[in-house]
Structure 1
Amino acid sequence: MSDSSDQSVESGGLTPKQRLEPPNTRLINAGIVTINDMETLRACVAYENANLGRVQILRRLEQQANEIRSQED
């Protein structure tokens, strides 16, 4: 049985796994900076916490959350 965050397609047509598990860090960063809504960001944070738990990636996701919030103000 697969975790729903593995399979759900979020904004941009990418799953959290596709955004956070490419072969190099530049692609991971690109996957993160193209997140433009909180729903997708939360799905990616949940995926990272459940699967890899990389602090550096979680910090980058937090920075992106701050960017999204600042655009909403």
Structure 2
Amino acid sequence: MESGSLTPEQRLEPPNTRFINTGIATIHDMETLRACVAYENANQQRVQILRRLEQRASKIRSRDD
């Protein structure tokens, strides 16, 4: 399942920072999530965003079990 056509940059660097949570919440597959983690690690390295991505990964994993 693909999480839409948003790039990691579009999800994590929206024009309005209030949309970051929405960008993360709409990730539905591990491939997209890994791409977002890689993007964040390579660019901003914001601990809070990486934590949110980690929480999203846990939800995806528990859903897939």
Indicate the percent of aligned positions where both proteins have the same amino acid.
80
Question: What 5-or-longer segments of structure 1 have no aligned partner?
Answer: 1-9
Taking structure 2 as the reference length, what is the TM-score of the superposition? 0.92
Taking structure 1 as the reference length, what is the TM-score of the superposition? 0.83
Q: Which amino acid aligns with 1:65?
A: A
The residue that corresponds to 1:47 in the other structure is: 39
Question: What 5-or-longer segments of structure 2 have no aligned partner?
Answer: none
Runs of 4+ in structure 1 over 2 Å off: 23-26
**Structure of higher CA gyration radius:** 1
Relative contact order, higher structure (CA 8 A, sep 6+):
2
Name the CA distance, whole Å, in 2 between partners of 1:65 and 1:26.
20
State the Cα RMSD in Å. 1.1
